[in-house]
Structures are given as structure tokens and as C-alpha cells.
């Protein structure tokens, strides 16, 4: 669903993100991990052609659309329905003066879906993210952060999204709520075959959801591969450092993959 | 665990904003070493921190500083309290004047609390920056010229400049990258071991608490629901909420985290406040609020603590 080749994002002559190769297939979750300034969010935004003030080169395809050469109308079509962007604070993206149901109905109407069809799509999408349909009668300020985040995903589903791009979708949430959002993302990947590209600084979280992992540092990819391989046998020193820095709970994972004796 | 009397304590403290009580009957004390305060958003942990810093008067109960009631201190004692107990908040930029350079910010603390001469200041500022892993080249920067992680470390350096006996840390590392977080945790561990620094660490990150705090309190809806040795709480929780928190933490290479079950349910008004989210809830939980009691070496407020402990494993929370 997503295919990236030789992506380079430059400001002046400085490369702020460079990704030689990244693919996300349907039914697959790929995570980009790294610290502040690693270029992970830039890469995510570039995937939808949303990087501003920088020169983007290379090849980015979402479905059959080449993002860098597409006509504005095609780009809008991808952003509006095929691919959905889920950000850290979804509440900021929801119009505070509208009930969530109204918001969803209007979004569907813009895509030509109205009446009974819109209602059934809304109900179905809300159920898919494990929310109570009663939530559609609430205003954004009346729902919790985790509910808002799941609603944002539901909105994307109702519009027929096949790709979800998520930027730290759970880092503002409590751990118990984070677990719910992650469970929803896993379910959508497994049951609906959604392609998920997920950006996070939380390696432990990533290790529980990602099929493949891309580790970035200072704009460059330092390691990529199957998640279990990267986490148990990291080949790059920086990946090992990142893994070692994750705080651990007692009575679990006595083996610290990749950690060197100190 | 500490021989010396606690520096700071709360005794049956209830805190309220207007008519709404948000912290109920909480007691804890902090001396040397780390004490953890664990809870999710809305649990009242930041409100409690504000009260401990003397920024919010309890509706009932007392905040104690040494053996004194915080509200009874005279001006001189209050100044002493202000330098003994230093806060570090989640966002370091809140603690820094946007117009002041790093050197001026930290230097101000040195001058105010230690009457340090200007000549000595520069060397001390560089030393403090090195302690938090920052380059002394940053001394001329202003807050907006630094990253969030750098600002947070400057805020910690500034708090340490005063040579406090105690830090009240409210989510001090949750905005930082993991490698920077690891360095800050090392620093705090070292200061506690070498200088007997005490700290109250308020966080939702159980891994951080486990590293730094021998004893922890778990707060739910403004009440302490479980207290005891941190390792015990995390390896064998006796309260279903502690269990839910622990099982929701993603583990490197582990099973997917478990949803805590109906997190959107608001705390119950009657009976046990946690019962609407609790997979262990039975009839009595709706009739009677559980008091806090001693169960196998920790204090826990749950009618079914023995069952929670015995089960070891939480049954999966019922989903709608």
C-alpha cells in the first residue's frame, strides 16, 4: 500500500530525513522509531505530501498514486479517504462545536455518502474501534483522549481508509487507554487488512504491535528489519542503546536483548 | 526505611477545588531516597504535589515539613522550606524565565539561596550542567533556543543548584527521549546514594518508578488504593487497579498490552470507586467503600485483595 524509494527531505543542503526503502503492505504494521530530531515524523508527513518548506525527492507511492507527481485533486483523494493521518492529540482536529455524529456525517457527505448508508457506515466504524454508538451524540470535549483517538480512527474507517499513518497516537494517553488504542489498531490490521505506518519513540510499545521496524537517527535509517529480529538481535549500536534505555518492570524479560554488560 | 525523620509528609490530607474534593484522606511521607506516586490523569497526583509544595492549602489534614505544620511556619522557616524542597515539573520551560540565559537562570538560584559570588557562579553553573549531561556551551542560550529535553535538564540543574534535601518531581521525564531519560534517572539515583537526596516521583511510568523508588503509592480517583514496596506492587499487585496498570504497560518483545477494561467508566460515587472498571467486583463492592488495610506487607483498599493476590493473573476484563 505504501512504497517509498530513495526518499530525501532537504532544507537547504541539509538532509533532515533520508529513507532508501520502505514498504508497507496491506495487513502489515511498520513502525518508525527514533528520538527527537530523527526525521521519523518528517518521513510520515512526506508520505502524504504534507512536508512544507523543504525539498522532497525520490519516489513515494500510496496505493497507485505517486505522491510527488500527483495532481492536487488526486492527493486530496488519498488524504481524504484512502489514507488517514492519526496525530498525537486528536481533539485538536475535531471541530469543538459539532457533535461527533455530525462531524462524521458531514465528512461522509463530502464524499457523497448520505442518509441511511451514512448512518450504517458510521455505526459500523464506531463499533470497529470498540466505541459505544452513544458517543456520536457527544461533543469533542465530552470524550476522553482515548475515545477521541479511537473516534479519529473510526472517522478514517468510515471514509474507506486502507492505510493508517499514525504519529505517536498514544503518547498523550494513560497506559490503560493506550492499551485499548493499540488493541484497536492490531484488530484493524488483522481483521480488515489495513496497512499501518506508525511513528513512535516507545520501543516497548512498538515491539508489541509492529511487524517490521525502521530505526532512524539524525535523519538517517540506521537499522531496519523484522521487529522480532531487531529487538532480539539489534545489529546497530544506536539501536542497542535505545533498547537498553527502556525502563523495565520486575519479573519480566530478564534477558535484556541487545544490552551490553556494564 | 529511613532513620532520619521524613522531610515532607501528608497526614490524612483532603484537597478540594471549590466544593469538589479531588484528593481524599491521603497520608505519605518522603525522607531519603525515592517515593513513587503512581496514577493516571485525573487521579489527583499533581494536586497532591501542589499541596506538598505549599501551593494549595488542604481542606483537612496537614502537610508537614520536618515535625512542623507547613501552614505554621514563620517567614524565615518558609524561606528554608522553599530551598529545601524543590519542584520539577513536566515541562521545563515553565520553570525558566524566557528572557534569561541558562547561566542567569541557574545563577539566580545560586545567588538567592547561597549568596554565591559572581566569580564562583560560572564554575558552579558549568558543573551543574555537566551533572545533567549538558554541554557548558549552552550557558548563553535562552529557553527558546533549546530543545524540550535540554530545557528540562536545565530546570533540573536549577532545582539542584539550591542543594535541596528533597525534590518533588512531577512527570520529570515523560517529555524526554528514552536515552536522555535514562541519563536523568542515573543522575537522580546517584544523588540519592551520595548526598541522601530524597524525592517524590510522580509518574504514570511504572518502569521509572521501579528503578528509582523503593516504596510507592498508587492513586486512583484521589485515593491511595495500594502502598508498599514497589517491587511487590509490580510483581504481585494486591489491588485490581495496580494489576490493570501493570498489565497495560507494553513490554519489549512481550505480549501485547492488556486493555484495562472500560477505562471510560467514571469512578463510582458509592461503594468502591474502582468497581465499575473492576473485573473482581462483587456485591459488597457496591455497598461498602473498602478501608485501607494491611495485606501481606502492603496497605491496600480492596475487599478482594486476597483473591487478587491469589489469582496472580488477572482474568481478562469483561468487554461490552
Residue B105 lies in a domain: no
pLDDT band at B4 (very low <50, low <70, confident <90, very high): low
- Please check the confidence at residue A186 and state whether its pLDDT lies above 60: yes
What pLDDT is recorded for position B315?
43
* Among the partner residues B205, B254, B261, nearest to A252 by beta-carbon distance: B254
Same domain, B31 and B79: yes
Task: Express each pLDDT in A152-185 by its tens digit.
Answer: 999 988 988 999 999 988 877 888 888 888 888 9
Residue B108 lies in a domain: no
What pLDDT is recorded for position B317?
43
pLDDT band at B5 (very low <50, low <70, confident <90, very high): low
| Residues of chain B contacting residue A29, judged by C-beta atoms under 8 Å apart | none
- Please check the confidence at residue B314 and state whether its pLDDT lies above 70: no
List, in order of start, the domains of chain A with CATH numbers: 2-245 (3.40.50.300)
- A174 and B255 in contact by Cβ < 8 A? no
CA B195, CA A155: separation in Å to the nearest integer?
54
Residue B201 lies in a domain: yes
- Please check the confidence at residue B308 and state whether its pLDDT lies above 50: yes
What pLDDT is recorded for position B219?
95
Same domain, B84 and B177: yes
Q: How far is CA B73 from the centre of its chain?
A: 24
Residue B120 lies in a domain: no
CA B277, CA B274: separation in Å to the nearest integer?
6
Same domain, B89 and B34: yes
Same domain, B286 and B200: no
- Please check the confidence at residue A251 and state whether its pLDDT lies above 70: no
Same domain, B202 and B282: no
Average pLDDT over residues B15-39: 92
CATH number at residue B81: 3.40.50.300
What pLDDT is recorded for position A79?
81
Task: Express each pLDDT in A217-227 by its tens digit.
Answer: 999 999 999 99
Give the gap in angstroms from C-alpha A110 to the nearest C-alpha of chain B. Answer: 31
Q: Whole domain around residue B33: which residue ranges? A: 8-95+163-218
Same domain, B210 and B261: no
What pLDDT is recorded for position B114?
78
Percent of chain B with pLDDT over 90: 51
CA B258, CA B70: separation in Å to the nearest integer?
42
Residue B119 lies in a domain: no
What pLDDT is recorded for position B312?
62
- Please check the confidence at residue B260 and state whether its pLDDT lies above 70: no
Q: Which residues of B, range 59-118, sit inside 8 Å of A by Cβ?
A: none
In terms of CA atoms, which chain B residue is nearest residue A227?
B253
Residue B69 lies in a domain: yes
Question: Whole-model pTM above 0.90?
Answer: no
- Please check the confidence at residue A189 and state whether its pLDDT lies above 50: yes
Same domain, B12 and B77: yes
Same domain, B78 and B175: yes
What pLDDT is recorded for position A19?
95
Same domain, B14 and B72: yes
Same domain, B196 and B243: no
In terms of CA atoms, which chain B residue is nearest residue A185?
B256
Q: Which residues of B, range 20-59, sit inside 8 Å of A by Cβ?
A: 40-41
What pLDDT is recorded for position A145?
83
Ranges of beta strands (E only) in B6-58 are: 8-17, 20-30, 33-38
Task: Express each pLDDT in B38-80 by its tens digit.
Answer: 988 888 998 999 999 999 999 999 999 998 999 999 999 999 9
Q: How many domains does chain B have?
A: 2
- Please check the confidence at residue B311 and state whether its pLDDT lies above 80: no
Whether this model's ipTM surpasses 0.85 comes out as no
Neighbours of A80 (CB within 10 A): 16
What pLDDT is recorded for position A202?
87
Element (H, E) at A31: strand A29-33
- Please check the confidence at residue B2 and state whether its pLDDT lies above 70: no
Beginning with the edge strand found earlier in the chain, give each strand of the sheet holding B33-38 in spatial order: B85-88, B166-170, B198-203, B33-38, B213-220, B223-229, B298-300, B293-295
Residue B104 lies in a domain: no
Task: Express each pLDDT in B215-254 by its tens digit.
Answer: 999 999 999 999 999 999 998 999 999 999 988 888 887 7
What pLDDT is recorded for position A53?
86
pLDDT band at A254 (very low <50, low <70, confident <90, very high): very low
Same domain, B206 and B72: yes
Let me know: does B54 contact B63? Beta carbons within 8 Å.
yes
Task: Express each pLDDT in A19-44 by its tens digit.
Answer: 999 999 999 999 999 988 899 999 99
Residue B151 lies in a domain: no
Same domain, B39 and B176: yes
Amino acid at each position: 500500500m505504501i512504497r517509498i524509494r530513495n526518499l530525501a527531505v532537504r532544507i537547504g543542503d541539509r538532509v533532515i530525513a533520508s529513507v532508501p526503502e520502505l514498504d508497507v503492505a496491506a495487513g502489515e504494521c511498520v513502525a518508525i522509531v527514533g528520538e527527537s530530531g530523527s526525521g521519523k515524523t518528517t518521513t510520515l508527513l512526506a508520505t502524504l505530501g504534507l512536508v512544507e518548506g523543504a525539498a522532497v525527492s525520490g519516489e513515494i507511492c500510496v496505493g497507485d498514486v505517486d505522491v510527488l507527481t500527483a495532481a492536487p485533486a488526486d492527493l486530496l483523494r488519498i488524504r481524504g479517504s484512502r489514507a488517514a493521518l492519526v496525530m498525537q492529540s486528536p481533539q485538536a482536529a475535531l471541530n469543538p462545536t459539532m457533535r461527533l455524529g455530525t462531524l462524521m456525517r458531514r465528512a461522509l457527505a463530502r464524499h457523497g455518502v448520505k442518509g441511511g448508508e451514512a448512518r450504517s457506515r458510521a455505526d459500523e466504524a464506531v463499533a470497529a474501534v470498540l466505541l459505544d454508538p452513544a458517543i456520536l451524540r457527544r461533543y469533542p470535549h465530552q470524550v476522553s483522549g482515548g475515545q477521541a483517538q479511537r473516534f479519529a480512527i473510526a472517522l478514517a474507517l468510515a471514509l474507506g481508509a486502507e492505510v493508517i499513518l499514525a504519529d505517536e497516537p498514544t503518547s498523550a494517553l494513560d497506559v490503560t487507554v493506550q492499551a485499548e488504542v493499540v488493541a484497536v489498531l492490531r484488530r484493524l490490521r488483522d481483521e480488515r487488512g489495513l496497512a499501518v505506518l506508525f511513528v513512535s519513540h516507545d520501543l516497548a510499545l512498538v515491539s508489541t504491535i509492529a511487524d517490521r521496524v525502521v530505526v532512524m537517527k539524525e535523519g538517517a535509517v540506521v537499522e531496519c528489519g523484522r521487529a522480532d529480529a531487531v529487538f532480539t538481535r539489534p545489529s546497530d549500536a544506536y539501536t542497542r542503546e535505545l533498547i537498553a534505555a527502556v525502563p523495565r518492570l520486575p519479573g519480566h524479560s530478564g534477558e535484556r536483548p541487545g544490552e551490553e554488560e556494564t | 526505611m529511613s532513620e532520619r525523620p521524613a522531610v515532607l509528609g501528608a497526614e490524612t490530607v483532603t484537597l478540594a477545588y471549590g466544593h469538589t474534593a479531588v484528593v481524599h484522606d491521603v497520608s505519605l511521607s518522603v525522607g531519603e531516597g525515592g517515593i513513587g506516586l503512581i496514577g493516571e490523569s485525573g487521579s489527583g497526583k499533581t494536586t497532591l504535589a501542589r499541596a506538598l509544595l505549599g501551593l494549595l492549602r488542604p481542606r483537612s489534614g496537614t502537610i508537614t515539613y520536618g515535625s512542623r505544620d507547613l501552614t505554621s511556619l514563620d517567614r524565615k522557616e518558609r524561606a528554608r522550606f522553599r530551598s529545601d524542597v524543590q519542584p520539577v515539573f513536566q515541562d521545563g520551560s515553565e520553570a525558566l524565565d524566557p528572557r534569561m540565559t541558562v547561566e542567569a537562570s541557574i545563577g539566580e538560584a545560586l545567588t538567592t539561596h547561597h549568596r554565591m559570588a559572581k566569580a564562583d557562579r560560572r564554575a558552579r553553573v558549568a558543573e551543574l550542567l555537566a551533572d545533567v549531561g549538558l554541554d557548558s556551551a549552552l550557558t548563553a542560550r535562552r529557553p527558546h533556543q533549546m530543545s524540550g529535553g535540554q530545557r528540562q535538564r536545565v530546570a533540573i540543574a536549577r532545582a539542584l543548584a539550591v542543594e535541596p534535601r528533597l525534590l518533588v518531581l512531577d512527570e520529570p521525564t515523560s517529555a524526554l527521549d528514552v536515552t536522555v531519560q535514562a541519563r536523568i534517572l542515573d543522575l537522580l539515583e546517584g544523588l540519592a546514594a551520595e548526598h541522601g537526596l530524597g524525592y517524590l516521583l510522580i509518574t504514570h511510568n511504572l518502569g521509572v518508578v521501579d528503578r528509582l523508588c523503593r516504596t510507592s503509592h498508587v492513586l486512583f480517583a484521589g485515593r491511595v488504593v495500594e502502598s508498599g514496596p514497589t517491587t511487590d506492587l509490580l510483581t504481585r499487585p494486591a489491588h485490581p487497579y495496580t494489576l490493570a496498570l501493570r498489565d497495560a504497560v507494553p513490554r519489549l518483545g512481550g505480549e501485547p498490552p492488556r486493555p484495562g477494561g472500560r477505562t471510560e467508566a467514571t469512578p463510582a460515587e458509592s461503594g468502591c470507586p474502582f468497581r465499575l472498571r473492576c473485573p473482581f467486583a462483587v456485591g459488597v463492592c457496591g455497598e461498602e467503600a473498602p478501608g485501607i488495610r494491611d495485606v501481606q506487607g502492603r496497605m491496600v483498599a480492596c475487599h478482594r485483595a486476597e483473591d487478587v493476590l491469589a489469582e496472580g493473573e488477572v482474568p481478562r476484563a469483561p468487554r461490552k
